[in-house]
Chain A
Amino acid sequence: MNGALPEVVHFGVGSSKKEATIRDLVEGSRRWRLWISLGWLDVKQRYRRAVLGPFWITISMSLLVLTLGTVYAGLFKQDVHSFLPYLAGGFIVWNFCTATINESATAFTVAEGLIKQGGIPLSLHIFRTIFRNFVINAHNIVVMLLLYIWQPSLLNLNLLLLVPGLALMLVNFVWISLIIGVLCTRFRDLPPIIGNVLQILFFVTPIMYRPDALPANLSFIVRLNPFYYLIEVVRSPMLGAAPPGYMYAVVVLTAAAGSLLAFWLFVRTRARIAYWL
C-alpha cells in the first residue's frame, strides 16, 4: 500500500489472459516474503509434531543408505567406498524431487481458504510448496557431512557447482509443480496416479545403479530420461565431480520447454482454479 496510483485491473471477457497470468507470476515472485514465511511455518509445524522434526528423514535416509548400500554393493559387485556415496547422493536428490512433486499435487487444494479470500497470486502457493520442500530436504545435508567425514576426498571445489545445479533444479520444479498442481486441482483422482508414475521413474533413473551398468541396448532408458540429467547436475558436485557440459544444456532446454508448456496451461486454467476448489 504505497503511495503509487493503483492500476486498473480488468477481469472477464475482453481482458488479456496472458497479461493476467504474467501479473500472477510477477506478483507471486515479488511477494517472496510471504511464501517464505508460510513455508517456514510449514516446516516449524513438522518440528512441533515430533522432537526431531524433519531430522527423522535424515535418520531414515542414513539407515536406508547404509543397509541398501551394503546389500546392493554386494549384489552388483561394487566397491562399497564408491557405491555408498553414489547411492546416498542419488537418494537425497531423488527424495527432494518426489517430495516436491507429490506435494505440489495439493498445492492449491490445501490453500483453498487463502485462495477464496482473494488478493494472493496463485503462483505463490507453488513457490511456497517448493520452498518448504527445499528446507526440509536440506536436512539431509547431515548425511552428506557424515560421508565427507568418512571420505574427505569427496569434498573438493567441484562442490561449488552445486549452486548452479540446484538453481536449475528449482527452476524445473516451478514448471513441473505448476502443471501438476493445476491438473490435480481439476482431476481429483490424479495424485495417486502421479505417485505411481514417480515410482516407475525411480526404477528407470540411475539412482540405485550406475548408468554404465545398463547393457547398450537398454541405455536409451537413461539417455531419454530428463530426470537423469536433472539429478546428475546436483548429485555429481556433491560427490566431487563436475557434470559434463551437455548435461547442463539438456537441463536448461528442459526448463525452457517445460516453462512454455506450464505457461500455456496456466494461461488457460488460472481463472478457473478458484472455481475448481
Chain B
Amino acid sequence: MASVTANGRMNARVKFDHVGIEFPIYSAHGRSFKRSVLQYTTGGQIGLSSNQRVVVSALNDVSFGAEHGEHIGLIGHNGAGKSTLLRAVAGVYEPVLGTISVCGRVASLIDLTLGMDMEASGFENIRIRCLLLGLEPNEIDAHLDDIADMTELGDFLAMPVRTYSSGMVLRLAFAISTSITPDILLMDEWIGAGDASFVKKAQARLQSLLGRTGILFIASHQEDIVKNNCNRAIWLEHGAIRADGLPADVWREYQAWSNQAGG
C-alpha cells in the first residue's frame, strides 16, 4: 500500500500512545495576576473556590498508529475531539497524559486564509503563506509560477488582496495551500474553491496533493468524502475512539449509533 512520495520518502509515521488532552477553563480570577499573588501571600485563603481548576477533557486515552499511505477520515459529532486530535498531530496541544510521536513534515490546511494580509499584494501573500507552510526560498521561487497559473488571477496578483472578491481570495489561498508536498497533511473538512469552472481544476489539484501526501488526516461530517478519499476511518466520541477500521464499516456503525441516539 505504501507509495513513495515525490521526494522519495515513505517513512511518515504517527503514533498516539494513551494520549489525554485537557483544557483548563480559567475563571476571570484564575487569569488574574493580582489574585494569584494575593492567594500566595495569604496561604490560599482568598478565593478558595476560584482556585479549583475546571478542566474539560478533549481527548481521553487515545491510542492508534498511522503508517505511510494511510488516509484517515476522522468522524464523530461536533465536540467529539476531531479538531483537537488534528491540532495534537500538528504539535499545537502537547498531551498532559501519554505520548505522541510524529515522524515527517506536517502541513496543516485547517485554515486556508490564515496569515493572509488584506493590504498586501497577491504575490506578497504567496511568499508569506509559503514561508508559513515551511517552504525554503528556492522552493517558493519554484512554486511561484505554478501558483500564479493556478489562481488565474493574472495582473490582479500585483494588487492588494483587499481589492479581490471573496472567491478570488479563496482561489489564491487554495492555490498556495495545495502547492506543497507534505509527509503528513491535516484537513478540517474538504476544501473547495470558487465557481463552477474552477471547481474541476481545483478538485484535480487536490487529488494530486492527496496522491503525494504520506499520511492524511481529514475530519469530516460527509459520508462520501470519507468513503471516497480514505482507506481508514476513526470514529471519535467524547474524546475517545469508538471504532477504527475500514471507512464503510466504521461509517455504518457510526450511522447506526447516531440513529439510535437520535431516535
Contacts and interface: CB of A to CB of B under 8 A. Distances in A.
Interface of A: 1-3, 5-15, 31, 33-34, 37-38, 41, 44-45, 48, 113-120, 183, 186-190, 193, 271, 274-276
B111 interface: yes
Interface in B113-152: 114-115, 117, 119-120, 124, 127-128, 131-137, 139
B136 A37 contact: no
Contacts, number: 131
B77 interface: no
9 A-B pairs with the lowest CB-CB distances in the bound complex, closest first = A118-B90, A187-B33, A12-B95, A271-B94, A118-B92, A11-B94, A34-B131, A12-B99, A8-B103
Interface string B10-42: 011100000100011000000111101000000
Scoring B91, B100, B106, B124 by chain A CB atoms within 10 A of each residue's CB, the highest score goes to: B91
Interface of B: 7-9, 11-13, 19, 23-24, 31-34, 36, 87-88, 90-108, 110-111, 114-115, 117, 119-120, 124, 127-128, 131-137, 139, 180-183
A114 B132 contact: yes
Nearest to B91: A118
Contact of B128 (A10, A41, A118): A41
Contact of B104 (A6, A41, A188): A6
A184 B13 CA distance: 36
Contact of B19 (A12, A116, A189): A12
A115 B90 CA distance: 10
B92 A116 contact: yes
Contact of A44 (B33, B120, B132): B120
B110 A117 contact: yes
A10 B127 contact: no
Contacts of A118: 87, 90-92, 106, 108
A113 B115 contact: yes
21 contacts: A1-B135, A6-B9, A6-B104, A6-B183, A11-B88, A11-B91, A11-B102, A12-B19, A12-B96, A13-B97, A33-B137, A34-B131, A41-B128, A113-B115, A114-B115, A117-B90, A117-B114, A119-B107, A119-B132, A189-B31, A275-B93
Contacts of A31: 131, 134
B92 A117 contact: yes
B108 A6 contact: no
B67 to A, nearest CB: 14
Contact of B91 (A1, A8, A114, A119): A119
Contacts of A117: 90, 92, 108, 110-111, 114, 132
Contact of A114 (B33, B97, B114, B136): B114
A48 B160 CA distance: 11
A102 B98 CA distance: 37
